Amino acid sequence: MSKQEITLTPVSGGACCTPISDAALDPAAAAEGAGVFKALADPIRLRLLSMITSAGGEICVCDLTPQFAVSGPTISHHLKVLREAGLVDCERRGTWVYYWSVPQRLEWIATLITTPVPAPLS
Amino acid sequence: MSKQEITLTPVSGGACCTPISDAALDPAAAAEGAGVFKALADPIRLRLLSMITSAGGEICVCDLTPQFAVSGPTISHHLKVLREAGLVDCERRGTWVYYWSVPQRLEWIATLITTPVPAPLS
């Protein structure tokens, strides 16, 4: 396994964490959160995730790869990182693999960093 | 500048981006988002950010450093990465530096990955 790969157990439920505005994270939660953020910390992966999520259902890898100026194997690697972080899942059907996002995982990581924004000064 | 440092222009307003559930990110937005996620992709930085944010106002670096089993310069490096990503800001007063979080930046990055979670099957 290359050191860039991330192995995390996807959460099965909805939002489940305490936002950082409410309490300091314990080391275990920080390690899990940092692993998911590492998966998001690449422009190609972030664009792939946005394409998959905004597709509204599932999308064929054959529709993702042509959007990038990198090779198919590189796209496959990035998709694997997103999948291992629990952010997307996939299924092979015949020649192609179809991807969809995991809203619960996105909600979990968004909740972690959600913080009340003060009202603007009037 | 070490390659771990991230230089981003913090946003000044509130939530300003289109969530990835609504549309695919353009390359520029993906690059900016990935830079912020890179700053969050470390357990120590994530714990530091949660301590600063949950402090509710500002917190002295002298109250942060003792919480970690790493050196003061290492903590200072991580705080610099968070500051350069626009997630925290700071001010030196006498001997100590005081940190506070930037809610607008946290809101921006949380909005980016916020996606509607489907209702559970009944």
User: Domain residues of chain B, as ranges?
Assistant: 24-113
**What residues in A contact B53, CB-CB < 8 Å?**
20-21, 115
For the segment B6-57, what is each residue's pLDDT rounded down to a tens digit? 444 444 334 456 787 788 888 999 999 999 999 999 999 999 999 999 998 8
3-state secondary structure chain B: CCCCCCCCCCCCCCCCCCCCCCCCCCHHHHHHHHHHHHHHCCHHHHHHHHHHHHCCCCEEHHHHHHHCCCCHHHHHHHHHHHHHCCCEEEEEECCEEEEEECHHHHHHHHHHHCCCCCCCCC
Q: What is the pLDDT of residue A35?
A: 96
Which of B13, B100, B106, B122 is CA-nearest to residue B55? B100
What pLDDT does residue A8 have?
46
Residue position matching structure tokens 């991330």: A6
CATH fold label, B24-113: Arc Repressor Mutant, subunit A (1.10.10)
Q: How far apart are CA A104 and CA A10, in angstroms?
A: 9
Q: Which percentage of chain A shows pLDDT scores above 70?
A: 80
How many CB atoms neighbour CB A80 within 10 A?
A: 16
Average pLDDT estimate for A27-40:
95
Pairing status of strand A96-101 against strand A59-60: antiparallel
Average pLDDT over residues A83-98: 97
* Residue of A21, A24, A49 with shortest CB distance to B47: A24
Q: At a CB cut-off of 8 Å and minimum separation 6, what does B100 contact?
A: B52, B55, B57, B58, B59, B88, B89, B90
What is the share, in percent, of chain B residues with pLDDT greater than 90? Answer: 64
Tell me how far apart the alpha carbons of residues B102 and B104 are, in angstroms, rounded to a whole number: 6
B76 and B110 Cβ atoms separated by less than 8 Å: no
Q: What is the mean pLDDT of residues B69-82?
A: 96
Average pLDDT, chain B: 84
- Interval B49-76 mean pLDDT: 94
Which residues in chain B are closer than 8 Å to A109, comparing Cβ atoms? 113
Nearest to B54 among A24, A110, A118 (CB): A24
The answer to whether residue B54 neighbours chain A at the CB level (below 8 Å) is yes
- A119 pLDDT tier (thresholds 50, 70, 90): low
For residue B101, pLDDT beyond 50: yes
pLDDT at A51 over 80: yes
pLDDT at res. B48: 97
Average pLDDT along chain A: 84
